[in-house]
Each structure stands twice: as C-alpha cells, then as structure tokens.
Structure 1
C-alpha cells in the first residue's frame, strides 16, 4: 500500500480515514462471518427490497396454509377413524344378526340383542368424536356432541314404540323416528347444526370438503338398524320370541344393505385425505424453494468473507506499522 505525504495534518487525517474504513470493514466482515448473513442488505439488493418482500409475503402465506393443512389433516384423520369404527361395528353386528334366523331360544335372542346394544354404543361414541376439542360430525356446532347418548336415544324409542305388538309395527315406528322430517332423530337425537362445516382452505384455490354430519342418511340408517336390534335387549316385544327374532333379522338385513354406502363414504373421505397430503407436500416444496432463494440473497460466502477479513486485518496492521514509525504511536492509541 503506497501513501503520499501532503503535510503532517493532511497525512494524519488520511491515516485516520483509512483506519476508520478498515475497522468498519473488519466489524462488518466479522458480523457476516458470525451470522452467515450479509450485513448491509440494502447494498446487496441495490436498495430494491421488492424481491425480498415478495418472498417474505409468500412464506407467511404458505405458513398459514401449512397450519390449515395440519388442522384439516387431523380433522380428516379423526373422521376416518370414526368411520372405520362405524363400519367395523356394523359389520360385526350384521354377522351376529344374520344368525338370529337360527335362534331357537330366548337366551340366544337376548344374547344377540345385547351384543348389538354394545355395538350401538360404540357407533354413537364414534359419531361424537372430537378433533382438537371440536366435534367432527356436528356441522358448525363443533362445541357440542353430534348426537344424544345411546341410552337417551333408546329411551326415546321405547316411549315411541309403546303399544306396538308386532315386529312390523315396531320397525315402522323406529323408521319414522329416524327418517321423518321433524321426527325424533331431528328433534332430540341429532344435536349438531343443520349447517354443514365450511370447507378448509388448504391452499391457493384448494379446499378440503369435510361436510359430513351425523345426520347423513347413511348414519341414520346405520343407527336405525342397530337401535332396532338393541331395543330387543331393552324389552321390545318381550314374550314374543318370533317377533323379537324378526326384529333382529330386519336389523341385520338393513345393515347389510348399507354396507356399500359406508364404504363409499370412507372412500370419498380418503380422497380428501389424499388431496390434503398432496397439497401439503407441494406447500413444503414451495417453502423450501423460497427459503433457498432467500438464503441466496441474504447469505455470504464464508470463505470469501474470511479472506476479505484477513486482508483487511493485514492492511490495518500495515497502516499501524507505518503510522507508528512516523509518529511513534503505540497500538492502543492507534486503535482508539
């Protein structure tokens, strides 16, 4: 490094200016090496923060979508598990009820009805499943159970069938209770909202629709047939063995007829789960790409920074050596 003498005061000023610049560079390079990020972002982007601002905005939006995807995924998983319980318990009940045609004693009929009562309880419990404290089958009324308890439903049905003396009569009343507009199920059985839950916004132009409620016809038919058999365990048509056996047989046939609808319901929800997973993977990929781009704009090359830092330190030491020879200044005074 060469220096031109322009008088003692001018020379002193020149040395101090060079010293200040070198110290500033050393501090900047030290900070960049420690943080791995450029110290003067404005200089890096030439004062145009449009790109950085756009990246940050996109990342914030994608982070919000990622949270929505997580919530939607958990909600869908809770639904799918519940549907699995409904289908599994229905299948078990169907197998048990189809044996009722061969039931030859009151004990056999009662045992079958008792088993189905337990399966009815399990299905009701599944339909009252919650995800993160929200009922999944209650529509927009996520703060309450979707349907009344199994005991409450059966108690209402027992009142409704009072006076019926034939299997056909009991079955007709139970069917009306579950399926008639304004019937027992709508007034006291289903406790959720008639307004379906809005679809989850999981991405730009992407929505996950999980609007199934416990009032869905497939669920009504499932509950109706399980309840029809469970009523036998509660004393329906007591003393009429053929009549009770007929109720069990009707219930088994009814459950068998809706097995495909249950499978279709699970398949449709499975498609929604696949959609959530696909969009989630895409979002993660987009976030990764934007973070790489941002890092490229903000980061420094550690080897280049280290080399420049070493060079600046050498220049400062050289300047100090030259200054000290000319003014006999010690290092402490020079670095002040």
Structure 2
C-alpha cells in the first residue's frame, strides 16, 4: 500500500468522524430551532443551571396545582348542577299543596302528591351524581352509590303512617327515622358516609338535603287515597310539611351559596397561578430561550457543511479506488 492510500484512508476516517459530529450538531440545532430553547441547558447556563432548574420545578408545580384546581372546579360545578336540579324539581310543590289542602280540593291534592313523588325521584337521581369513579354526595364512601330508587323510602314512610295513631305520633316516628343512627334513613336508604374529609364536598346526609327529601316523601304519600289521609290532624300535617318544604328549599339555596364561596376562592387561586406562571415563564425563558431565527440560520449552515463533507468523502473514495486499480 503506497503513501497516497494511507493518507487517503486517514482523511476519510477523519471526515467520517467530522460528519458524525455534524449530524449530532444538526440534530441539536434542529430541536432548538423548533422549541426555541437550548437543548443542553447545563452547557449553556453553566453556573446558573441551579436557578433554571428551580424555575422549571416551580413551573411544573404550578401545572400540578392547576390540575388539582381544575378537578375541584369540575366537582363543585357538578355538585351545584345537581343541587340546582333538586331545587327545580321541588319548585312550586309547596305552594300548590298548600292551596289544594286549604281548599280541600282532593283532586288537586292528589296532583300535588304525584308531583312530590316525581320530584323525589328526580332528586335522588341527581344526588347519585358522580365525577369519574367518585360519587359526589356519598361523603368519604366515594365508591358507594348513595341511593337506590325511591320505592324503599316511600315504603318505609307508608309503614310509619300505617302504624301511627295520629299525625303527632307519625311526626315523632318520622323524626326518629331520619335522625337516629339506628333509624331507617341511615340503615335502609342512604348508603354513603355521614362524614366527608373534603371540606368542599356535600353529603346527601346534609341537613338541608335530608329535610327536603323527608318533606317530599311525606307529601308524596299525602294524596286523598294515601295512608296519611286517615290520620287525625292530616290537614295540619300536610300544611306543616308543605311549609317545611319551602324552608328546605331556602336551606338548599344557602347551601349552594356556601359552595359558591368555594368556587370563587378556587377561581381566585387559578388567577394567582396564572400570574405566577407568567412571571416564572418569562424568567425561565430569559435563561434558556434560544433565538429561533439564529438557530435556523445555523442549521442551514451546518446542513451545507454536511453536504460538502459527503461530497469530499465520495471523491476521496473514488481516488482511493483509482489508485488501487492503477
């Protein structure tokens, strides 16, 4: 092998290494031209890398916090929607029943009782609302469906009415049913937890919700053919329950207002995060941003150099072959 062949081989090897380095540099510069950020921050920032990493972590923390806030906002919105449905379902029933029972219009009383039954069904269905795998009104028992259908509740209330000696006795038994830990409400009807670790959540055992369900259930069996109609004090009982329903609706309004406070606070926290993110992003960009036009120009130059290197390598290979054949 002559000296030309040795020299040509060394040059080819050197060019090969140079081409490999160029391709690496092109890959890096191409990424920087696309992202507008230096790929090797350690090399670019040197002693300032710690500051940049802290800024990057702060931005990541903001992203995580925003996801949590968005989750809370979505849950609160769905809770508000469900309670809104409960309110709308019972709207007007108290006034209609008071008018009907006061005028002793049996047909109208029956219609109001039917409306109460429909509202009870709609309310229980709304209170079974879920977000993902989480039942929103089940307290800490988030995987448990709070209610089955209304039939079990109405059957229990009718049984109390059948066994009551008068309307006063019915009211006493009803109180025990809904307030006692061993009463039918907690034993047979509400299957969720009475406690909620999340302060922004609402259980269906909330006093406002439980009062409204109780009132609707009583009115639902208050028709002229229902078991309450035969009790002494029937008319007074229906009137008092109707007034209680109106009060329960007001309590639901107050409950929704309390939730609105949480929603407003959540919105303020989101705005605060937006402001922090703007400031931190600007600071992080000052440290890490790469001029994309400059990177694109450098990329074009590197690609030109690479093409020239490929051309030279090809020519050297041809010369080496000719020298060998000669």
Per the normalisation by structure 2, the TM-score is 0.77
Once the two structures are superposed, what CA deviation does each residue of 1:229-283 show, in whole Å capped at 9, x if it has no partner? 112247223456x854433312111112233322211111011111222222332
Whether the aligned pair in 2 keeps the contact of 1:85 and 1:126 (CA below 8 Å) is: yes
| Cross-structure match for 1:133 | 133
Q: Taking structure 1 as reference, are residues 166 and 19 closer, same or farther at Cα in structure 2, changes over 3 Å only?
A: closer
Query: 2: CA distance between counterparts of 1:153 and 1:313?
Result: 78
Q: CA deviation at 1:18?
A: 12
Residues 307/81 of structure 1: CA separation in 2 closer, same or farther (3 Å cut): closer
Q: Is 1:98 aligned to 2:88, yes or no?
A: no
Residues 306 and 160 from structure 1, CA distance in 2 versus in 1: closer, same or farther, beyond 3 angstroms? closer
Equivalent position of 1:276 in the other structure: 266
Equivalent residues of 1:229, 1:248 under 8 A apart: yes
Equivalents in 2 of 1:94, 1:115: separation in Å? 10
Distance 1:127 1:309 in 2: 60
The DSSP-based 3-state class of the residue aligned with 1:258 is helix
* Runs of 5+ consecutive residues of structure 1 not aligned to the other structure: 1-12, 200-208, 319-323
The 2-side partners of 1:330 and 1:106 are apart by: 104
Alignment of 1:52-131 (within 5 A): 52-131=52-131
1:29–1:306 CA contact under 8 A, matched in 2: no
- CA root-mean-square deviation: 3.8
Aligned length: 308
Q: Does 1:235 align with 2:232?
A: no
Taking the TM superposition and a 5 Å limit, the aligned residue runs for 1:12-31 are 28=25, 31=28
Q: What TM-score comes out, normalization by structure 1 length? A: 0.75
Shift of 1:69: 1.4
Q: Answer yes or no: is 1:142 the counterpart of 2:132.
A: no
Query: CA–CA distance in 2 between the matches of 1:130 and 1:312?
Result: 57
* Map of 2:3 onto structure 1: none
Displacement of 1:141 in angstroms is 0.5
Tell me, in whole angstroms, the C-alpha distance in 1 between the residues paired with 2:189 and 2:300.
Answer: 79
CA distance in 1, matches of 2:278, 2:269: 14
Q: Which runs of 4 or more aligned residues in structure 1 lie more than 6 Å from their structure 2 counterparts after TM superposition?
A: 16-23, 309-318
> 1:76 deviation in Å?
0.6
Q: Is the 8 A contact 1:29 1:305 kept in 2?
A: no
Contact 2:161 2:228 in 1 (8 A): no
- Check the 8 A contact 2:31/2:39 in 1, yes or no: no
How big is the shift at 1:50? 1.1
